[in-house]
Structures are given as structure tokens and as C-alpha cells.
Structure 1
Amino acid sequence: MEETISLRELFAVLRKRLWLIVLITIIAATVSAVISFFVLTPVYESKTQILVNQAKNDQQLYNPQVVQTNVQLINTYNDIITSPAILDKVIKELKLDTSVGDLSGQIQVTSAQDSQVAQIVVQDTSAKRAADIANTTASVFQKQVPKLMNVDNVKVLSRAALGENPSPIKPQPLMNVAIAIVVGLMVGVGLSFLLEYLDNTLKTEQDIENILELPVMGVITTIKDVPKATNVQRPDLTARVPQRGETFGS
């Protein structure tokens, strides 16, 4: 017989295991909040924009071919920015205690499609250090491009600025807690249905009818034993034989 589960039965299972779902959700949210606020190290982000463009005396007011060439050069510049030729000088200038590989992992160069503007994005556990790395990388790159590519078409469009109260980009405690709540609910619901599926005990008459496919004729309830009364004086019903010289009335 193919078993079917109605919507009412699903809600009954959820209501039955509601305490488990709530408990798992609270634990997941609490653990996420503790890790986000007290364990994970905040990471800050700074951005510097550079413009790839020829000088005015080297090109016309608008030359589509030159613009397209500059756009194609950005991909090459992206690799040069994160190369040891640039990052070695950045490390020496800022006196950073890190390797070229680790510093390259902190830097990301992005640009919009068909745009001559590229962004140098730096992430670091210190907001000031992130801004210094972004600005120094752009400055060193601007100085080294003429030597490496024999072209002078890079300008710093905007420098990374350090605000008064910089906010970290990660971790995001509220987002982490919200995700933990959703995951906790999903785990709690899934575990509730799993426990219900593994529970094969008979609890109601309906369970018997569903399994045996027979109607229930009667139910025998459990009768508890009546506790015996203690310290109760019982009347003496034994017959007393009168002694010699006694009468029943005396």
C-alpha cells in the first residue's frame, strides 16, 4: 500500500518536534554570533582607481582605435600590478612583513567592460594598511609602467581615503546570524521528519488501522492499582465467648 502524508500530518510532526526545531535554531544563531563577534578578525577594504589613457598631445580628441588599445592593455596591466616587479617595491616602501604571494592574494584588480578605468582593491585586517597598500601599489605601478611597457598612459584617478570610522567588509555578524537561523530551521525540520520516520512504535488506534488494515473493535485502557489505605482501624468482628459468671449485657 502506497503511503501518503497529508498537510495536516506534516504540521502535526512539526508541532510535535517544535521544541527541537527551536533549540537547534537558537544554538546555531548563538554559535554564529559568538564566532562573528569574538573569533573572526575584521577585514577592511580600500580602493584606488587608475586611468589608462594617452596624453592629449599623443592622440586626437577621441580616437576609437587608441581607446580600444587602452582597454585591451588593462588586462595586461592587471597581471603586472600583482607581479613581483611591482609588489616587491611596495613591500620595501611600506616595510611590510609579508611575502609577494601573500600580498598578491590581498590585491584584486577589476575593471568594467570596455572601460579605461581600473580599480585596485586591497583587503587587510588594518584599515590604514589597506589604504596605504592600495595607494602605494598605484603609485609604484604608475612609475614602473614606462620602464616595463615603454608607454606612459597611466594616471591615478582617485586615491584610497581612510575615513574616521571605517567599517569592515567582513565578517558581517547580522548576515551570519540570519544565515545561521535559516540553516538551523532547515536542520531542525529535517531532523524532525527523520526522527518521525525512524519512530515505528504504535501510539494510536489510527496507527494500528493503517498498518494492519483492520478496524479497531475495542480499546483496553491501563487501570492503575488503587493504593491500600494505611492506619485504618477496622472493627473487631470476632465473636467473644463469655466467661463464667458473665452475661452478654454486662
Structure 2
Amino acid sequence: MSAEQQNNEEVTIDLRRLFILIRKHIISILIWMIGLGLIAYGVSEYVLVPKYTASTQLLVNRKTADANQAYANQQADINAVTTYKDIITSNVILKGASKYLANPVTLVKKATPAKKAVYKTNDDGTRALVKKAVNAKPAVYKRESKSYSISPSELASAVSVTTTTSSQVFTLSATAETPAKAQAIANAVAKEFKEQIPKIMDVNNVTIVAEAPKGTKSFPNVKMITAVGVLAGLVISLLIIIIKDLSDTTVREDSFMTNELGLTNLGEIASITMPKDWTFTAKTAEKRGSSRRRV
């Protein structure tokens, strides 16, 4: 037998043995897979702190009536997206966003100062009202969301920007512990960036295309972690079974004795199954001995 044929035979025998082991220990394998799968599901669902991500889209676009100038502006805006990506995560923007998140209010109507009534004096000396007095009115503010105390450094780790090649639109994403907090962070950073970019670059070409909705769960991925747990159960159970089988020194085949140890096979002793109610006693031995003597 050639070495290649011997190797193929060994591989075939090993695979057959592995299949036998799997079939023999199928219950144990299933217990390991289901057990680790349930543990992974429990950890991902009830132990790990969930994270939620909300995203808003911003457009970089300068409006112009000249077609030639419009194309040039479009190319300039595409090139500026990379710069804006760095600016939006800078400390200048994040500081303003952090301040806004601490008190997220927007001015709806400015305060009106009080004004005195205006009179004029007639020829006969009487006074006539020209303009009525106006009472002072406070400014009207609108609260956008719940207040959050978040430092600029925390915002830097929570915010990420994604750009697409040759696109004037880029996506700002924020990750937080609750859907509402992720939404508030994304909208606050986008709002602050839109307000500050004219002062920083002397251009006003940023538009918020879509405000961020409430965040969706981004971590943990329960299905994936559960699948990993099931796979880990399969691998661990197979390793335990294989290691246990390799450490077993029981001789299973005659070929091992003859081929590996060089011993001569003198024969085989068959296994005899006795009835359950059969018992060996002295009388039984005596009867068998007498029957042999008669013969």
C-alpha cells in the first residue's frame, strides 16, 4: 500500500470515527449549544448596556443662477465636505452643542420693551393721545428637548461623521444610552454647526436636510451574539469529545494489535449473553460435571 493510499485511509477512518462520536454524543452537543446560546442571549439582552444611534443629514450647497458658476461651486462644496467633517467634531462646535444641550431652548419671539404713550398738545391747551402705551413683553422660547449634561469630550466620543464619495451630503450620527438622548445630541451638533460655519469659513452653504429621529438600537446585536454562543457551544462540545476520545487508551480494533504492536491474532472470544434469571450455583456445576462424565 502506498503512503498516499495509507494517508487517505487514515483520513477516512478519522472522519468516520468523528461521525460516530458526534452521533454518540448528539444529546451532549445539543445541550452545550442550547445552553451557551441561552447564556449569550441573556447576557446580550439583560446584562450589556444598550446603545442607540440617531442620524441627521446635512447638505453642502451654494445657490447661484450662473450655470458655469454652479458647477464650480458644486465641485468646491464636494471638496469642502472633508473639511466640514473635521470642523463638525472640533471643540468649537462641540462646546456650543454641549451648552445648548444643557438648556435646549430656541427663541421664538424676541422681547418687546415697554413704550410710553405719546400725546400732543392742541392749540386750546388740551392734550390728545397720539400713540398708546405699550406694555413690556418677555421673550418667548421653545424647549426642544430634555436637558442633558454632556461635556465636549463626551460628545466627541459619541459623534461620528460619514461621507460619500462625490456627494454633497454627509451624515452625522450620535450614539447614546437612550433613543431620545441620541436624537438630542445629533440635532444639537447639527444645529450648532449650521450656525457657526458662516463665522468660521465666511460661507453660508450648509442645510440640514433631515433632522434626526429617535435613535434605534445599535448595540448589542442580540441575534448575532446568540448565534456566536450557539457556535461556541458546538465547538467546545466537539473539542471536549475529541480530547476525551484521544485520551482513551482502549483498544477498539484488532488491526491496532497486529499492525501497530506486531502481535499475532490467535482468535476472538465471542460475548455470551445469559438470561437475567440465570444463576450459577454449586448444584448447577455438579450437574454439568456429571453430564460430562456420562458422555
Q: TM-score range by the shorter chain?
A: 0.7 to 0.9
Percent of aligned pairs sharing the same letter: 29
> 2-side partners of 1:207 and 1:12: how far apart?
18
Pick which of 178-187 and 202-211 moved more: 202-211
Counterpart for residue 132 of structure 1: 184
**1:9-20 map, 5 Å:** 9-20=17-28
Give the drift of 1:227.
6.0
Question: In 2 relative to 1, CA 38–227 (structure 1 residues): closer, same or farther, beyond 3 Å?
Answer: farther
Pick which of 213-222 and 18-27 moved more: 213-222
Equivalent residues, number: 224
1:32 and 2:84 matched? no
Q: Which of 152, 168, 172 matches 2:217?
A: 168
Letter in 1 for 2:149: D
Counterpart for residue 232 of structure 1: none
Q: Which has the higher strand share?
A: 2
Give the drift of 1:139.
0.6
> 2-side partners of 1:99 and 1:213: how far apart?
78
Structural RMSD (CA): 2.7
Q: Which of 55, 63, 66 matches 2:63?
A: 55
Counterpart for residue 239 of structure 1: none
Question: In 2 relative to 1, CA 212–16 (structure 1 residues): closer, same or farther, beyond 3 Å?
Answer: farther
1:188 and 2:269 matched? no
Q: 1:172-221 deviations in whole A, cap 9, x for unaligned?
A: 32222122212322332233333323333324435434532555322457
What SS class does the counterpart of residue 238 from structure 2 fall into? helix
Give the drift of 1:42.
1.9
Counterpart for residue 123 of structure 1: 175
Letter in 2 for 1:78: K
> 1-side partners of 2:261 and 2:270: how far apart?
20
Give the drift of 1:112.
1.2
Residue pair 1:87, 1:103 contacting (<8 A) in 2 also: yes
Residue pair 1:124, 1:130 contacting (<8 A) in 2 also: yes
Q: 1:218-246 deviations in whole A, cap 9, x for unaligned?
A: 2457999x6658xxxxxxxxxxxxxxxxx
Give the drift of 1:13.
2.5
Question: In 2 relative to 1, CA 161–215 (structure 1 residues): closer, same or farther, beyond 3 Å?
Answer: same
Counterpart for residue 245 of structure 1: none
> 1-side partners of 2:29 and 2:255: how far apart?
26
| TM-score (norm: length of structure 1) | 0.78
Counterpart for residue 237 of structure 1: none
Instruction: List runs of 5+ in structure 1 lacking aligned partners.
Output: 230-250
Q: Which of 3, 11, 19 matches 1:5?
A: 11
| TM-score (norm: length of structure 2) | 0.67
Counterpart for residue 290 of structure 2: none
Residue pair 2:163, 2:171 contacting (<8 A) in 1 also: yes
Counterpart for residue 94 of structure 2: 87
Give the drift of 1:36.
1.3
Residue pair 2:101, 2:150 contacting (<8 A) in 1 also: no
Letter in 2 for 1:18: I
Counterpart for residue 247 of structure 1: none
Give the drift of 1:92.
1.3
What SS class does the counterpart of residue 14 from structure 1 fall into? helix
Runs of 4+ in 1 over 6 A off after TM superposition: 221-224
Counterpart for residue 80 of structure 2: 73
1:143 and 2:149 matched? no
Residue pair 2:54, 2:216 contacting (<8 A) in 1 also: no
> 1-side partners of 2:75 and 2:258: how far apart?
78
Give the drift of 1:167.
4.5
Question: In 2 relative to 1, CA 143–210 (structure 1 residues): closer, same or farther, beyond 3 Å?
Answer: farther
> 1-side partners of 2:31 and 2:256: how far apart?
29
Instruction: List runs of 5+ in structure 2 lacking aligned partners.
Output: 103-147, 283-295
Pick which of 210-219 and 41-50 moved more: 210-219
What SS class does the counterpart of residue 51 from structure 1 fall into? strand
Residue pair 1:142, 1:155 contacting (<8 A) in 2 also: yes
Counterpart for residue 23 of structure 1: 31
> 2-side partners of 1:46 and 1:156: how far apart?
14
